Structure 1
C-alpha cells in the first residue's frame, strides 16, 4: 500500500489540542478524510477519523490493521504538518474554516 497523496491543513487556534486536519489517498484510488493531528501528553499523534456512537463513545470509521501501516501514515502526515507550519512561518493560519474533505468533493460526484 502506498500513500499517493497527503494534504494537511493546520488549525487556526494555537491553544487547542487539535493542530490540523489531514486527508490521505491510498494507491490513487481510496481517500481517507478527517484524520486529525492532536497534541497529546507525549507529543503529536495522528487520530483516525471517528464518529460518536449513541452511548457517547467514539469509534474509528477507518483505521490501519497493523503498527507498520499506522506508523507509515503518522510519519507522512506529521512530516507534512511540520512542512506546512514551516511554510506558514511557524504560525497557524488566520482561519481554518474550510471543510477538511473539500478537496475531494468533485470525486464524490463521479
Structure 2
C-alpha cells in the first residue's frame, strides 16, 4: 500500500474536537474520503469514514438508529441499552466503512494524515491560501465527464457518446417500441386477473 496523496480540509476553530476532514489516495488509483482528524484525550487520531448502526424494532421490524428511544415506524418504545458495548463500556453506535486491516497499516495511515494536517495548518497561514480538498469533484468532471445536457454529444473517459434527447410521453395504449399503428391492447373484462388496470 502506497499513500500517494493526502488532502486536508481544516475545520473552523470553534470546533473543539473535530480538527479537519481528509481524503487519502492509494497508488494514484483509489481514493477514500471523509476521514476525520480528531483531537482525543490521548492526542490527535484519525477516524475512518463510518455509518450509523441500526437495529430492528421487536414490535414492527422497522429499522432504527441505536440511539432512538422510539421506533420511527410504529412509535413502540425501544430498549435504550440494546447497543453492543466496547471494552471501555461505551456503546458501539457506528461501523467503519473503510479501514486498515492491521495496526501497522493504521499507524502508517495515521502518521501520513497527521503529517499532512500539520503541513496544511502551515499552508493556511500563507496569504492566498486555497484548500485543495474539494478539487476532487472538478478533477472528476474534467477527466471523466464532460457532458453537454440538452446537446447531442457526451464524452466519457475519452470516448465520444451520443446523448439521447428528452423522453417523449408515451401515447396511451402503446408500449415502448410498439408502433403507433399496431393493434390496440384488448380491454379486460371484470372477472379476468388484473381487470381495471390499464
The two structures have a TM-score, normalised by structure 1, of 0.80
Structure with more helix by fraction: 1
Give the number of aligned pairs: 102
CA–CA distance in structure 2, aligned partners of residues 69 and 29 of structure 1: 18
CA–CA distance in structure 2, aligned partners of residues 9 and 67 of structure 1: 25
CA spacing shift, 1:87–1:104, aligned 2, 3 Å: closer
SS in 2 for 1:72: helix
CA RMSD of aligned residues (A): 2.3
Query: 1:73-97 CA deviation, whole Å, 9 max, x = no partner?
Result: 10011001111112223xxx9xx9x
Larger Rg, first or second structure (1 or 2): 2
The two structures have a TM-score, normalised by structure 2, of 0.47
Gaps of 5+ in 1: none
CA spacing shift, 1:65–1:58, aligned 2, 3 Å: same
CA–CA distance in structure 2, aligned partners of residues 33 and 103 of structure 1: 12
Gaps of 5+ in 2: 55-64, 67-92, 146-156, 158-198
Matched, 1:58 2:118: no
What is the aligned partner in structure 1 of residue 18 from structure 2? Answer: 18
What is the aligned partner in structure 2 of residue 86 from structure 1? Answer: 122
Q: Runs in 1 of length 4+ with deviation above 3 angstroms? A: 107-110
